[in-house]
A and B are shown apart, each in its own frame.
Chain A
Amino acid sequence: MLVEFGTALDQAAHDAVLHLDQALTAHPFAGFRESVPAFVNLLVEFDPLVTDHPSVTAHLRSLLTVQTKARSQPKQRDVLVCYDDAPDLAAVAQATGLTPEAVINAHLSGDYAVFMYGFAPGYAYLGGVPEAIRLDRKPAPLRDVAAGSVIIAGAQCLVTTLLMPTGWWIIGRSPTAILTDDPARPFLFDVGDKARFRRISRAAYEAAK
């Protein structure tokens, strides 16, 4: 079942998604399997052998109307980024009329939040790229872009986790693992977390990789 809070990108709708997601985690129903938060809607998957659409709808409605306690404080996560191996930095600078250094500073100044995961395991969509460096994606995707690439398109930024094609602009590389290999906490981010980029040198990147 898909619960929609809007049809266009909108912070209030996204906050409502996070609110219902948290309320559901705190108060699951019998037969609840998993929920998937996205920009403006929440997918709720249930076991059809245990419950049905009317029961799930009633439960979700009760969570929407009941005033649950305020959303817990989002976690702040740090992501290291090296801008010295950045195939598209010059092109982004040219397209935005900035110097490469100004593009880097703009990227570092962003206030990022994890809106959702998608596309591939660990692909966390971070919203919050500053206006000055927002660009449409490239006309054609580039194949075989290495894991750990820091890529931007529009207001979004993400750190890739797999060798994959992308049409986004590659402005740096990160040694910070989103797929952590830690069974207790296999993914760096939860949806709703805040993120901050911290610049490192090429030497520090090579050492941390």
Chain B
Amino acid sequence: MSYATLNVTFAGPHVTIQDQGRPGLMRYGVPASGPMDRSSFALANAALGNPAGHPGVEISLGGLSLHCLSGAVTLALAGGGFIAETKARKLGAWNILTLSAGETLTIRPGPWGCWTYLAFAGSLQAKEWLGSHATHGSSGFGGGKLSTGQMLILTDAEICPDREGAIPCPVWARPRHLLRCTPGPQDRFFDAETLATFTTARFEMTDAFDRMGLRLRGPALIPASALSIPSEPILRGSVQVSGDGTATVLLADHQTTGGYPKIATVLGCDLDAFVQCRPRDAVMFQAITPAEAIAITRQNAIRFAGFESRIRRR
């Protein structure tokens, strides 16, 4: 059995271990977590022939440096357009490379994107919580946040020279600024004019952007009447409107319930590319029917599966 040992020589905030997440526990207050951009994470793993949910690392705009102390392992980097550098070369994301003892890999933000993924041809040793290695941000449960000085151990580490090189980056993995959504469940609290504003105005991404959600800046979406609704379930993709009319899109580590009205729910398959938009980017919402949402989701799944299997076979 071959090992590779990587020393975390630098980890920015919000760099975490993730896998496919832990769905099915929202009734206990536990969101699914998992990667912010699930498609790119799955493609990074597919490019190495791994199962889609194989544990890897989610890298935030804070960046990450890894120094290989012993052994060697092939890595895939996919997601936001980050820069990966070793002493010998400089690559963009959507590449596969091998890191050997004595080498340091530094990953930092590049021309686009907010989150990028490191998958390993090997098994990353990490803590599990409730059957998953995914890190739940606010508790730190699961694989956990990476911190400077920490060691990452890979068992069954492999070197795959035939897989090294570029991975094609599909156009749909690039930042998505138009969010398709189904109105509700509490759109009835807003008057027609406010609902029209929601789907015609431009909103700006703010710096209040983490694994729990993203706050938007834009016209105030004031509910038509003063209200007090009993706390009720929230989904990844819920667009929650606070009392002052500010909209927040809830993401991977969302609270599972809340008492603010949800004006709309963003299509799950639009969220992966949405989280690659950066603060100050403009985004817009487009209302679609539930039937259209189902049709789009199915088309996307077919497109994704086709791309994923081509990458996996390379």
Residues of A that sit less than 8 Å from B by CB: 2, 4, 7-9, 33-43, 45, 48-49, 52-53, 116-125, 162, 164, 183, 186-187, 191
Contacts and interface: CB of A to CB of B under 8 A. Distances in A.
Interface stretch (B9-17, B21-29, B50-58, B270-278): B21-29
A13 to B, nearest CB: 9
B234 to A, nearest CB: 8
B207 interface: no
Given A2-B184, A48-B294, A118-B231, 15 more contacts: A2-B185, A2-B232, A34-B23, A36-B257, A38-B231, A41-B233, A43-B232, A43-B235, A45-B26, A52-B291, A116-B231, A120-B255, A164-B138, A183-B131, A191-B27
Given A39-B232, A40-B232, A45-B235, A118 B257 contact: yes
B257 A119 contact: yes
A120 B290 contact: no
Interface residues of B, number: 34
Contacts of B291: 52-53
A34 B294 contact: no
Contact of A119 (B26, B130, B255): B255
A53 B294 contact: yes
A162 to B, nearest CB: 5
Given A33-B23, A34-B24, A48-B298, A118 B229 contact: no
Contact of A39 (B23, B24, B25, B230): B230
Contacts of B24: 33-34
A45 B131 CA distance: 20
Contacts of B268: 48
B135 to A, nearest CB: 12
A42 B230 CA distance: 12
